[in-house]
Structure 1
Amino acid sequence: MLVENVMNGIKVVMMWLFNLIPAPEQTAGAGLGGVAETFIDIVQGVAYVLPVGDILIMLGIWYGIYTFTIGWKLIQRIWDALPFT
């Protein structure tokens, strides 16, 4: 019960800190749609010169490995922070 109260206190403090972060303002032309359209235009322009399909496969593999390493490091940090290890 004591640990639960301490954890709830930590959660309240963390939520308070997260609420202090201002939310980004969204304007009509500054959404992610413009970024996606620009990226698609770049890929279509490069497709005439480079094998974009192969590059996208390699990019997907790299992204998968990179996100796995981030997740694995996060799991290791959480595991090391646990008091019973």
Structure 2
Amino acid sequence: MLAKTFAGILLGLPLSMAVVSLAIWLWPHSSESVVIPMLMLFFPLWIGVMAATFLFRRGAHAWMWLAAANLAAFAALFLAKHTLPGL
């Protein structure tokens, strides 16, 4: 139980940051108009990720899946920043 909690807190934060950053970067129109709403979406997203960690059977699975999701989210953000025009 404690492992799932720490996985949600420690790996959910960067995952939520990466997802929100990717959404801002990929926004089709002026991204300045969506920064504040997306930042307001960050906290509920983080809470959702933390709550979803309790659906895993073991804490090790939560750590593994969240680490993979972080890797994928930051890889997508890296690719978007280096291949697509943005801000």
Normalised to the residue count of structure 2, the TM-score between the two structures is 0.39
**Which structure ranks higher in relative contact order (CA pairs < 8 Å, sequence separation ≥ 6)?**
2
Which of these two proteins has the greater Rg computed from alpha carbons?
Answer: 1
